[in-house]
Amino acid sequence: MNQNPSEKTIIEDETKESFQNIYFSKVILFNDLVNDFGHVEDCLMKICFKSKKEAKKISLEAHNNGKAICFVGSLEECETVAEKLSAEHLTVSINS
C-alpha cells in the first residue's frame, strides 16, 4: 500500500496525538477573582516546577482566556499536582 507523503504525515500526527493522550493528562488552571498573581505564580513554581517566566505566562493566559494548562504528566502525577494546587485555593481540573 503506497501512501502519498501528506497522508503519511496526517496518520503519523494522529497516531502521535493518540499516543500522547493515552499516557498524559493535563492540569487546567482556571482564572478566579480571589488569588493574586504573586500567589498563583508562586504555586506554579513550587508545585508545577515552572520557572518564574513560565509561571507568569501561565498566570496571564488563565487571566486573559479563563483557563490555561499548567501541568502535563501521568494521571497520577496530575492528581497529585491538582490536589496541591486546590489546597492552595486555586481552581483546577484534570483533562485526560
At residue 96 the predicted structure's pLDDT band, cuts being 50, 70 and 90, is confident
Helix axes 52-65, 37-47, angle to 10 degrees: 130
At residue 50 the predicted structure's pLDDT band, cuts being 50, 70 and 90, is very high
| CATH T-level topology, domain 24-95 | Ribosomal Protein L30; Chain: A, (3.30.1390)
- The predicted model scores a pTM of 0.77
The three grid cell numbers given for residue 3, joined into one nine-digit string: 501512501
- Report the mean per-residue pLDDT for the chain: 86
Domain boundaries, the chain: 24-95
Q: Give the C-alpha separation, 7 to 96, whole Å.
A: 27
* Per-residue pLDDT tens over the stretch 13-41: 555 555 555 679 999 999 999 999 999 99
Segment holding 30, helix H or strand E: strand 25-30
